[in-house]
Structure 1
Amino acid sequence: MDGQGSADAAGLQKLIDIESQKQRFHQAVHEIMDICWEKCMDKPGPKLDAKTQNCFSNCVERFIDTSQFILNRIE
């Protein structure tokens, strides 16, 4: 493989890695929302009350904190 082919392959691999990271991020967001929805949402309505907003905020923050803790432990 010549230098150009190698550069093209490296660029393609980088693009694939970026798209994989995006996909993992989107999956994590959906997982967080599913978990927090089940935990915090009693009955859907036109607006979120303060209690539900706080529950969602705390749920997401704890999920992020836990994920960060696990990533730090793995490293």
Structure 2
Amino acid sequence: MAELGEADEAELQPLVAAEQQKAQFTAQVHHFMELCWGKCVETPGNHLDSCTENSLSSCVDRFIDTTLAITSRFAQTVQKGGQ
């Protein structure tokens, strides 16, 4: 197998980092789905009752709010570090 040169490695590094971020995000979404499913769905069936639907909706809302808050805080930290 041919070895990669420094230029090749430098070119691949951002691609590898992006793939790692995608994998991390996917893992977080799967974990989140398991948590919400465990908290909200007592018995799986052919349809969701209103209580289960409301619970899942609230769980998703909390996840989105938390993700946005973390993203915003991270962006502020990056901005402060760049000044």
TM-score range, shorter chain: 0.7 to 0.9
Question: How far does residue 71 in structure 1 lie from its aligned partner after superposition?
Answer: 3.0
Identity among equivalent pairs (%): 45
In structure 1, the gaps of 5 or more residues are none
Q: TM-score, normalised by structure 2?
A: 0.71
Alignment of 1:63 onto 2:63: yes
The Cα shift of 1:54 comes to: 2.2
1:10 aligns with 2:15: no
- Aligned length, in residue pairs: 71
Cα distance in 2 for partners of 1:50, 1:13 equals 47
Instruction: Give 4+ residue runs of structure 1 displaced > 4 Å after superposition.
Output: none
Distance 2:10 2:53 in 1: 44
Q: CA RMSD in A?
A: 1.8
Q: 1:39 is aligned with what amino acid?
A: K
Deviations 1:2-49 (A, max 9, x none): xx851x223211210111011111111111111111211111112212
Is 1:40 the equivalent of 2:61? Answer: no
Choose between structure 1 and 2 for higher RCO, CA contacts under 8 A separated by at least 6 residues. 1
Structure 2: segments with no counterpart, 5+ residues: 78-83
